Amino acid sequence: MLVFGTVDALSAGSGGLLAGGLDAHVYRVGADRVLHGQPLYTEPTFFGLQYTYTPFSALAFLPILAVPWSLLTYVALLLNAAALYGCVLASVRMLGYRTTSRTAGVAALLAITCLFLEPVRTTLFYGQVNLVLMLLVLWDVSRPETSRLRGLGVGVAAGVKLVPAYFVAHYLALRRWRAAACAATAFVGTIALAWIVLPADSQQYWFSTFFDSDRIALDTDPANQSIRGVLAHLMHGAAPLWLWAVLAGAVALSSLWLTATLERRGERLLAVTIAGLTSCAVSPFAWGHHWVWFVPFLVHLVHQASTSPRWWAAAAALVVCTGAWAYHWGGEYVSVGIFLLPKPWHSEPVLENSHVLVYVAVLLYGVVRSRRIPMPRSGTAEDPAAAEPSGVRQLAAATR
């Protein structure tokens, strides 16, 4: 599998974040085809890549056409940097901290630290949409229980990229019936809207393209950081569908029980983080850059370190295990992160399945934490507005 940056980066034999933007340009091509009445799924887009997102996503990407082609990489980079900061700030608020100049500064430092995580770095390099979708979900789950719009963010995010649809099940596990109904309705609404505007593309996607997983990449691709990918890596070939379905189903059900337990104990950020990571794990194909949910988990660990310094070791371990420490470019490819390097760099099972292994560790941590935290006396887990703010000075002092 060859992974390139822009045409200029390829011809120059160089690389760097400013030489990326490949997926952002694919989004732009998709939007341009919609505008000019051309089919989305029958012909390759930029650099020969297929368009794999929903028809609604192409409608959502229409504003990209206002950005000149030559500036798109930089605009996508700035947008993703802003989304990253928004995700960190939203995570800090979910921990109970009030938004002050100090917490805003701490959030900025944490966002800079998150740049070293492989999912974040690759999202920025390719101009991916993962951080924006995670921000939509975090905004959604942190809304008050009484909000009628709770669920809208999840539904729209799922309409762009199907993976966030997992959060409908998350809402059901939490018995947030109205939020689940709102999310499901919003998702169905995106399908209906796209079907009205793009009937041919919608029929092609939902009756054909949706079932063609090889259109993305082979299951055995080292970049497939999912349970199905792990099975394919270990078996050196596509795993039986039933085996993946059984394992993914068991993991999903276990995770839903765990997140519901954590939510009841007031661990709202950890609950939604595990839900986000699970959505990647049970997905048929999850690129390394899908795992941006390591960002709120790092915020959680830093929060823990503000009261007990030993948690700094856990935060450092997360950065090391999910860090973009492998970066190379040459005449044939540009690679950001271990999963896209040519063999033998990624052939070791631990490296080839590292994100899923870290996910297993996070699940075990969540189980231990759910047993150690007593049930709150008041309904702090039901409404984020009711949570008492934690000590901002502790978090600020811990990051000095």
What pLDDT was estimated at residue 347?
Answer: 58
Tell me: pLDDT of 240 over 90. Answer: yes
Tell me: pLDDT of 162 over 70. Answer: yes
Among 239-243, 290-294, 350-354, 390-394, the least confident range: 390-394
| Residue range 83-104: mean pLDDT, rounded | 96
**Which of the four pLDDT bands, split at 50, 70 and 90, describes residue 262?**
very high
What pLDDT was estimated at residue 394?
Answer: 45
Examine residue 144 and say whether the peptide bond preceding it is cis (omega within 30 degrees of 0).
no
**Which of the four pLDDT bands, split at 50, 70 and 90, describes residue 345?**
low
| Residue range 162-189: mean pLDDT, rounded | 97
* Cβ count within 10 A of residue 7: 12
What does pTM read for this prediction? 0.89
Find all residues with CB under 8 Å of 43, minimum gap 6, and list them: none
**Which of the four pLDDT bands, split at 50, 70 and 90, describes residue 13?**
very low
Rg (CA), the chain: 21
State percent of the chain over pLDDT 90.
Answer: 67
Q: Report the SS3 class of residue 376.
A: coil
**Which of the four pLDDT bands, split at 50, 70 and 90, describes residue 1?**
very low
Examine residue 63 and say whether the peptide bond preceding it is cis (omega within 30 degrees of 0).
no
What pLDDT was estimated at residue 346?
Answer: 52
What pLDDT was estimated at residue 20?
Answer: 79
What pLDDT was estimated at residue 339?
Answer: 62
| Residue range 157-179: mean pLDDT, rounded | 97
Per-state percent for the chain, helix, strand, coil, to nearest 5: 65, 0, 30
Give the Cα separation of 80 and 29 in Å (integer): 19
Higher pLDDT, 345 or 74: 74
What pLDDT was estimated at residue 332?
Answer: 55
Answer whether 31's CB lies under 8 Å from 62's CB: yes
| Residue range 142-168: mean pLDDT, rounded | 95
What pLDDT was estimated at residue 29?
Answer: 96
Tell me: pLDDT of 52 over 50. Answer: yes
Tell me: pLDDT of 152 over 70. Answer: yes
Find all residues with CB under 8 Å of 71, minimum gap 6, and list them: none
| Residue range 207-236: mean pLDDT, rounded | 86
| Residue range 18-35: mean pLDDT, rounded | 91
Q: Tokens at residue 294, please?
A: 């390591």
Tell me: pLDDT of 396 over 50. Answer: no
What pLDDT was estimated at residue 340?
Answer: 57
| Residue range 201-228: mean pLDDT, rounded | 87
| Measured CA distances, 147 to 140, 150, 241, 259 (Å) | 10, 6, 40, 21
What pLDDT was estimated at residue 374?
Answer: 81
Among 161-170, 256-265, 330-339, the least confident range: 330-339
Mean pLDDT of the chain: 86
